[in-house]
Structure 1
Amino acid sequence: MRDRVAVELVIADGSGPRRWVGRQSTVEWLPYIPQLQFIDALSRSHAAYLPVRETGRSAGQMVLVASMEAGLPTLIHPTESLQPYRGEGIERVDAVGHPLDRLIQMADTAEDVRRSIRERWERDFSLCAFSSNILYALGQMGWPEPTL
């Protein structure tokens, strides 16, 4: 909220609704919103940030996968639950660092990188990829058994 660059920041943490408006920037805190509304807001973004903390349980995967589907470059904290998702367009940020400058840079990510992020989502995390993985795993276990 230093208002040093023109940024529209949306915080989807359920603490809103409220809004701060500066000369160049805005910050909007969303209330709890339904999943479809959240996905719509996410898909209109230019970059995403998941400040997930290590708590000993999984957290953040659904939002990260939705960010990948939208082709968003994403900053994540180095938690164990998000390790499998690292790759192009997904960067770790030091938990004590301030991510705004890097997010501003990431918002200008070229379309070919965004396309690569979406392709990785399609290949590794889409419903088709999930179904293929399930069918492969069942096949490895001998299911379905051949019929005579």
Structure 2
Amino acid sequence: MSAFAVTGLYAVPGTNSWKLLQRSLKDIPIVTTAEIEAEQWVNEGGKATAVLYGNTFGYPEASTSTTVPTIFIGGTSDRDPDLISSLIDEVRTDTRSVRLIVADGSGSRTWRGERAEIEHFGRVSSEEFGRIMSTSDVVFLPILNKPRASGHMVCVGALECGLPVVSSECTGMDGYVDGKFVTHLDPEASILDQLIACADGPLDSEQVRAYWTENFSLDAYIGRVLTAVDHLTGR
């Protein structure tokens, strides 16, 4: 076999997936998108390093015409159902005008209160996922704290749309939270209050998209991967 490198693991030591990857990849250089995955691989004798993920999905820029704060939750991997339920409960009982969009493939349904609305989407294409997300003001990542990469694709897609991101604390998101464009959720405070404050914050879509272009576009990601491969292979 000719020399090649692998990007991403998305596996936890001790699982069948991890054991299969170990048998298959052996000494092949691994470029992960989470520090914890690289650390685990190296600790078990492998060769790996981590870089921040990036991509250019072609998602549209977020609309600035929304008058009601709109929150988006999307994706399925390692999502925290308790955090999602807590936010839904807050929206249902709150007296403010707010819209919550949940695109997790769980089925299409809508709830409307006196001033609030919750809309669930079933399975959608990548293009539709980006379009739906672009109609929001802030993206929320309620992620279970598992020792593997999680939330990166939705995070990067949100930044491409020009949207700020709020993530629950998760080892797999280490390095992606910069405190301005991507922030951590305070577990002791109201989820809804924090998300509305972020939606009404000072960032505009052009600022966020400029940050994405420089740090999380496909070009930025390719540059990091090539540098990592050169380092791992001694080139």
Normalization by structure 2: what TM-score?
0.55
The separation in 1 between residues aligned to 2:156 and 2:206, in whole angstroms, is 14
Verify the 8 A CA contact 2:146 2:172 in the aligned structure 1: no
Cα deviation digits, residues 73-98 of structure 1 (max 9, x gap): 11101101111111122111134643
Structure 2 residue aligned with 1:101 = 193
Count how many residue pairs are aligned between Structure 1 and Structure 2.
Answer: 141
Structure 2 residue identity aligned to 1:62: M
Structure 2 residue identity aligned to 1:6: S
Structure 2 residue aligned with 1:42 = 133
Verify the 8 A CA contact 1:3 1:23 in the aligned structure 2: no
Which of the numbers 104, 112, 118 marks the counterpart of 1:27?
A: 118
Structure 2 residue identity aligned to 1:136: T
Question: Is 1:53 the counterpart of 2:144 in the alignment?
Answer: yes
The sequence identity of aligned pairs, in percent, is 30
The separation in 2 between residues aligned to 1:111 and 1:79, in whole angstroms, is 24
Larger RCO of the pair (alpha carbons < 8 Å, separation 6+): 2
More displaced, 127-136 or 25-34? 127-136
Unaligned runs of 5+ in 1: 143-148
More displaced, 4-13 or 85-94? 85-94
Structure 1 residue aligned with 2:224 = 133
CA gap of 1:97–1:129, structure 2 versus 1, over 3 A, is same
After TM superposition, give the deviation of residue 10 of structure 1 in Å: 0.5
CA gap of 1:20–1:72, structure 2 versus 1, over 3 A, is same
Structure 2 residue identity aligned to 1:20: W
Secondary structure of the corresponding residue to residue 214 of structure 2: helix
Secondary structure of the corresponding residue to residue 130 of structure 1: helix
Structure 2 residue aligned with 1:9 = 100
Question: Is 1:86 the counterpart of 2:177 in the alignment?
Answer: yes
Question: Is 1:122 the counterpart of 2:122 in the alignment?
Answer: no
Secondary structure of the corresponding residue to residue 49 of structure 1: strand
Verify the 8 A CA contact 2:146 2:171 in the aligned structure 1: no
Structure 1 residue aligned with 2:13 = none
The separation in 1 between residues aligned to 2:184 and 2:229, in whole angstroms, is 34
Structure 2 residue aligned with 1:110 = 202
Secondary structure of the corresponding residue to residue 183 of structure 2: strand
Cα deviation digits, residues 58-116 of structure 1 (max 9, x gap): 2111101111111211110110111111112211113464311111111123344x433
Structure 1 residue identity aligned to 2:158: S
Unaligned runs of 5+ in 2: 1-91
The separation in 2 between residues aligned to 1:117 and 1:75, in whole angstroms, is 13
Verify the 8 A CA contact 1:52 1:79 in the aligned structure 2: yes
